[in-house]
A and B are shown apart, each in its own frame.
Chain A
C-alpha cells in the first residue's frame, strides 16, 4: 500500500516544494480556502473519524468545533514536543514530509479562523526547526502563506518556537504556558484551550501527525478515510517500534494491524530469536502487557488494546524480550518521570521522588518484599490526584509491572 503520511518513502525529494506541488500538494488547502466555508472543513474532518494522534485519541473535528467564536483572535498550535520515550514519528514527518504537515496546519488554521499558528518543537529538534523555517519561507514566497492566500482575503503566518528540554511541555496547557514565556506547568482545566488557550484566547492544539492526516482527508473525502482502519479508529497510524526487535523504526499501518504483524512482519521479529515477554504500547506511560498468543493477535486500535489491559496512546511500541527484568524497566521509567515531574502537584513531585528511592533500592538488590509493597502503595495513592496525566502515567508501569510480573520482584528482594 502506498503511504498516506510517510509519502516521502514512495516519492523521492518529497520535501522539495516543487515535488510536493507536482504530487497534488496544497490542492487541499486551496480547495478549503477558495471553495469551502470554515465550518464545512471542520465537518469533513469530523465525518472522517480522525482522532488526535498525540496519545489521547480525542476526535479532531469535534475539538475544532469547540472553538469559541465570541472571543478573538484565535490561534492554532502544533504540538511538536514529541518526548514520550519510544516515540519518534513526528520528527520523521517534519524532516521528510514537512509540507504535508504544514498544509494540514494551514487548513486547520483556516477552519477555526486563525491568522497565526505556532509550532512548538522540543528544544532538541533545533535542526528540525531551522529546516521548517526554510520550508515556511518557501511557502511564503510561493504565496501559499502570508496575505491574500490564493487571491482571497485569508491570511496566515506560521512561526516555530523551540522548547528547551521538558517532557511536561507536551501536555497542552503546559505547552501554552511555555509558549507564553513561563515555566511549563499545566493549568487547571476547565477552561479548555478551545475557549481559553494561548494568551487567554481560543486555541486549537493538535499533534504533528494529526495535522498531517488532514490534507489527504480533504482531497479524498471523509468516506475514503473512514474506509481505512477499524470502526472506532479510522485511518492509518504511524507506529514507532523500538526495543528488542531486529528492525526498529516507524511503520505507517492501518489501525487494526496486530502486534504480531508489527513485530514479526515489519520489525523482523525479536533479536536473537528470543520471545516477547512484555509490550509497552504507549511508551514509558504504558501499562505493561503480559504477552501470549492472544495478545500478539490483538488488533492495535484504541478499544482493542484496552481489552488486554493497556492503552494505545501515541502507539510507541516498546518490545521487551524474555531477558529483560521488569524491576529494571520500572527503574528506568521512574527515573524518567522523577526527572520530568514539573513539581506543581505534590503527589507527583513527592511520589516520584519516593518511588525512585524505592525502585533504586529494589533494583540494587537491597530491597525487601515490604519495599515492593510500599512502592505499589505509593503508586496507587498517586493515581487520580494530579492535575495532568504525567502523575498518572508515572504509576502505570509500576503498578502493572509489580502486579503482572511478581516473579521479577521476588527474584530481586530479600524475604
Chain B
C-alpha cells in the first residue's frame, strides 16, 4: 500500500510545512514515516516517495545512504545506539558497552536471538553530562536513556520483551 493511502493525515501534514514548489523538502519526514513500521525503508517506499515528490529514486536513495538514522536493511525491532564519543567515553561509555555486549552475548552490530534488539555504537548524542547513555530507535520513534548501567539496561530490555508479549 502506498504511503499516502496508509498515512493520509500524516502525509498531508508533512507536505503542508513546505512551499508546494519545494515539496522535495518533505523527503526526510516522509522517510521517517516509511520506516516507522518495519524499521527500514524498502525499495517500494523509496519509489513511492520519489513519485510523491517528483524526484528520482536515486535522489531518495542518496538521502537514505547519507543520513545515519535511515536504514535500508532490516534489523532488530529496536536499535540500541550507545554513544561512545569522547565526552561519554571519559565517563565510562566504552566499559559500559563492553559489559553490555557480554551480558547480551552479542557484539556491536549484532541482533539478539529473539530479534528484539540490535546493538549499535554511535557518535555524540548531546547528552555528555548524563553518560553512559544510549538512544533506542524503534516503532515509537527515538528515545533517550541516560545515566545508564548494565542492570538498568537489562531491565529496559525485559520491559520491551514484556510489551512485545502483551501486544501478541
Residues in chain A within 8 A of chain B (CB atoms): 82-88, 90-91, 122-127, 130, 159, 161-167, 178-184, 199, 240-244, 248-250, 284, 316, 318, 320, 324, 329, 332-333, 336, 339-340, 342
Whether B124 pairs with A84 at a CB distance below 8 angstroms is: yes
CB-CB < 8 A to A249: which residues of B? 129
Is the pair B129, A248 in contact by a Cβ cutoff of 8 Å?
yes
A320–B90 contact, CB under 8 A? yes
Residue B162 at the chain A interface, CB threshold 8 Å: no
- With a cutoff of 8 Å between Cβ atoms, the chain B residues found around residue A163 in the complex are 28, 67
Q: Give chain B residues whose Cβ lies under 8 Å from the Cβ of A183.
A: 62-63, 66
Cβ of A123 and Cβ of B22 under 8 Å apart?
Answer: no
Q: Are A182's CB and B143's CB within 8 A?
A: no
The reply to whether the CB of B126 lies closer than 8 angstroms to some CB of chain A is yes
For B89, what are the chain A residues with a Cβ–Cβ distance below 8 Å? 332
* Interface of A: prevailing SS: mixed
Measured between C-beta atoms, what is the minimum distance from B164 to chain A in Å?
21
> Is B8 an interface residue when CB atoms closer than 8 A count as contact?
no
B-chain residues with CB within 8 Å of residue A336 when the two chains form the complex? 85-86, 123-124
Task: Flag if A199 contacts B128 (CB, 8 Å).
Answer: no
By size class, the interface of chain B is 35 or more
Contact partner of A159 among B17, B69, B125, CB < 8 A?
B17
B154 at the interface (CB under 8 A from A): no
Q: B63 touching A182 by the CB < 8 A rule?
A: yes
Q: Which residues does chain B contribute within 8 Å of A181, judged by CB atoms?
A: 22, 24-28, 53, 55, 63
A127 touching B141, Cβ below 8 Å: yes
Contact B24 A242 (CB under 8 A): no
Structural contact, B126 and A122, CB atoms closer than 8 A:
yes
Q: Once bound together, how far apart are the Cα atoms of A184 and B28, in whole Å?
A: 11
Bound: A90/B127 CA distance, A: 11
Q: Which residues of B contact A165 (CB under 8 A)?
A: 67-69, 122
Q: Is the CB of B128 within 8 A of A88?
A: yes
- Interchain nearest-CB distance for A256 vs B (Å): 23
Q: Which residues of B contact A127 (CB under 8 A)?
A: 141-144
The distance from the CB of B72 to the nearest CB of chain A, in whole angstroms, is: 13
Chain A: CB-nearest residue to B29:
A162
The minimal Cβ–Cβ distance linking B75 to chain A, given in whole angstroms, is: 15
With beta carbons under 8 angstroms apart, the residue of A164, A178, A180, A182 that contacts B70 is A164
**Is A91 within 8 A of B126, CB to CB?**
yes
| Residues of B with C-beta under 8 A to A122 | 126
When the two chains form the complex, which single residue of B26, B55, B59, B86 contacts A85, counting CB atoms closer than 8 Å? B86
**Complex interface residues of chain B between 83 and 127 (CB less than 8 A to chain A):** 85-87, 89-91, 122-127
12 residue pairs bridging A and B, Cβ less than 8 Å apart: A88-B128, A123-B142, A124-B142, A127-B142, A127-B144, A161-B29, A164-B67, A182-B59, A183-B66, A318-B86, A329-B86, A332-B89
What A residues does B87 contact at CB under 8 A? 85-86, 242-243, 318
Q: A88–B67 contact, CB under 8 A?
A: no
Given known pairs A199-B19, A332-B85, the reply for A240 and B128 (CB within 8 Å) is: yes
Closest chain-A Cβ to B136's Cβ sits at a distance in Å of: 11
Point out the residues of chain B lying under 8 angstroms from A178, CB to CB.
28
Closest 3 CB pairs of A and B: A164-B67, A165-B68, A181-B24
CB contacts (< 8 Å) of B17 on chain A: these are 159, 161
Establish whether residues B68 and A164, one from each chain, have CB atoms under 8 Å apart when the complex forms: yes
Residues of A within 8 A of B143 (CB): 126-127
**Cα A316 to Cα B55 with chains together (Å):** 40
Residues on B with C-beta less than 8 A from A88 are 126-129
> Given known contacts A165-B67, A318-B128, what 7 new A-B pairs fall within 8 Å (CB)?
A84-B124, A86-B128, A122-B126, A166-B67, A167-B124, A243-B90, A284-B85
Most buried by B among A84, A242, A329: A242
B27 to chain A, nearest CB (A): 4
Nearest opposing residue in chain B for A320, CB measure: B90
| Complex CA–CA separation, A91 to B17 (angstroms) | 23
Contact, CB under 8 Å: A199 / B86: no
* Residues of chain A within 8 A of B26, CB atoms compared: 181
**Minimal beta-carbon separation of B116 from chain A (angstroms):** 20
